[in-house]
Amino acid sequence: MSTYRAVEVTGVRNLRLVERELVDPAPGHVRLKVQACGICHTDVLTLEGLRADASTPVVPGHEIVGVIDAVGAGVTAWRPGDRVGVGYLGGHCWECEMCRRGDFVNCLDQEQTGMTTDGGYAEVAYARASGLVRIPDGMSAIETAPLLCAGLTTFTALQKGFTRAGALVAVQGIGGLGHLALQYAHSLGYRVAAIARGREKESFARELGADEYIDSTSVDPGTALHDLGGASIIVATASSGSSMDPLVRGLAPGGRLVVVGAAPDPLTVATPDLIIGTRSIVGSLTGSSIENEDNLAFSLAHGIRPATETMPLAQAADAYERMLSGKARFRVVLDLAS
C-alpha cells in the first residue's frame, strides 16, 4: 500500500475524501493503521474554521485507536503490532518548563491532535510516541475510542476535588461526556446526582449510577443540590455557560465546580457564592497519556462503556453532523476496521 484514504477539512465544514501518500514516521513518532476514531464536540474547533489557519488542509479526529505498523528513529518503547490510542493531546516534548516540572498536560510544545496536526479521520495516522496510550486486552476499538477523550476528560475532572467516598458528586448534562461521568462517579463510590433538562433521561441516568435526578427545567439545580446537602464536586459538561451559573450555590463548603464543557457564552457567578463556603471554579483539560492508561484500566475493571453509533469513513461529514445535531446516543465513532 503506497497511499491511504483520509478525510481532510479546509475552511468551514469543507470536508473531502482524499488519497494521501504513505510516508515513514518522523523521528520520535509512530505510524498506525486506524481501527476507529470517535467524533468529539471539540472537533468543532477544526471543522468550523476556528483554528489558526483554516485554509491549510488538516485531518480532524482525536479519539484514535489503531495498531502500530512502523516506528521512527529513537522510538524504543513501542513496536509494530502494539495496539494503541491517541487522544487530544498529541504528546509532550519532555523539554519545556512545564514538562520539566512534570505537568505534561500543559506542555508548551504539544500538538493538538486533529487540529494543529493530522488526526484520525483516516486509514493511517501519525503520532508522537509520548502521546501514545497502551490499550488493554479485552477492549474493542469502537468502545475504547470515546474513552480516550470524553472518558479521560470526565475521569480526570472527578479527581480535581478532595472528597471522600459516599460524598455527593453531581454531573450536569447527560450527553456524550455526562453519560460517562455518571458511570465513573458511581464506580468511585460517590453518591451521584444527575442534572439534566426534562425527565426523559432520568431512567437512563439512574441505570448509569445516578442516585438522585434533578430536572433543571422545573427546579433551580443549585437549590436542589443545596437541599441534598451540597455537592463536593460538580462536573459541568453542558456547552452552555448560563446553565452553569446556578451550580456554584449547590456546592458544599470547600466544593469545586469543574468545568469541562466548552461554551460560547460566559459563566457568571456572584462573588459571595464563592467567598461564603470557600468554593471554587476550575477548568479541567483531559489528561496525560499515562493517565489515559489509568483511565482505560479503571474502565475495563468497572465495566464502564460509552453508548456508541458507528459510521464508515466515507460518511465522516454525516457523522459530524449527527454529533452536532445532539441526536446521537451518545458518541458517534468512525469504524475503519470493517
Claim to verify: residue 60 and residue 124 sit in the same structural domain: yes
Q: Which residues contact 286 (CB under 8 A, 6 or more apart)?
A: 87, 88, 89, 105, 149, 152, 153, 156
Cis ω on the peptide bond leading into residue 162 (within 30° of 0)?
A: no
The CATH code of the domain that includes 94 is: 3.90.180.10
Is 155 within a domain? no
Claim to verify: residue 170 and residue 44 sit in the same structural domain: no
Claim to verify: residue 64 and residue 85 sit in the same structural domain: yes
Is 265 within a domain? yes
Is 156 within a domain? no
Range of the domain at 226: 161-283
Is 306 within a domain? yes
Q: What is the pLDDT of residue 334?
A: 98
pLDDT in tens, 59-108: 999 999 999 999 999 999 999 999 999 999 999 999 999 999 999 999 99
Is 293 within a domain? yes
Show which of 283, 304, 321 is a domain's final residue.
283
Q: Which residues contact 33 (CB under 8 A, 6 or more apart)?
A: 66, 67, 69, 123, 124
Claim to verify: residue 71 and residue 113 sit in the same structural domain: yes
Q: What is the pLDDT of residue 218?
A: 97
Helices assigned H by DSSP within the chain: 44-47, 97-100, 141-146, 152-157, 178-187, 202-207, 221-227, 241-244, 271-275, 289-302, 316-325
Q: Are 35 and 66 in contact (CB under 8 A)?
A: yes
Q: β-strands 231-236, 168-172: how paired?
A: parallel
Q: What is the pLDDT of residue 335?
A: 98
Q: What is the pLDDT of residue 206?
A: 98
Claim to verify: residue 78 and residue 174 sit in the same structural domain: no
Is 250 within a domain? yes
Claim to verify: residue 49 and residue 167 sit in the same structural domain: no
Length of the chain counted residue by residue: 338
Claim to verify: residue 18 and residue 141 sit in the same structural domain: yes
Q: Which of 51, 48, 132 is nearest to 91 (CA)?
A: 132
Ranges of the chain with pLDDT below 70: none
Claim to verify: residue 62 and residue 103 sit in the same structural domain: yes
The CATH code of the domain that includes 275 is: 3.40.50.720
The radius of gyration of the chain from alpha carbons, rounded to an integer in Å, stands at 20
Claim to verify: residue 62 and residue 8 sit in the same structural domain: yes
Counted domains in the chain = 2
Claim to verify: residue 214 and residue 317 sit in the same structural domain: no
Is 296 within a domain? yes
Claim to verify: residue 33 and residue 122 sit in the same structural domain: yes
Claim to verify: residue 174 and residue 279 sit in the same structural domain: yes
Is 198 within a domain? yes
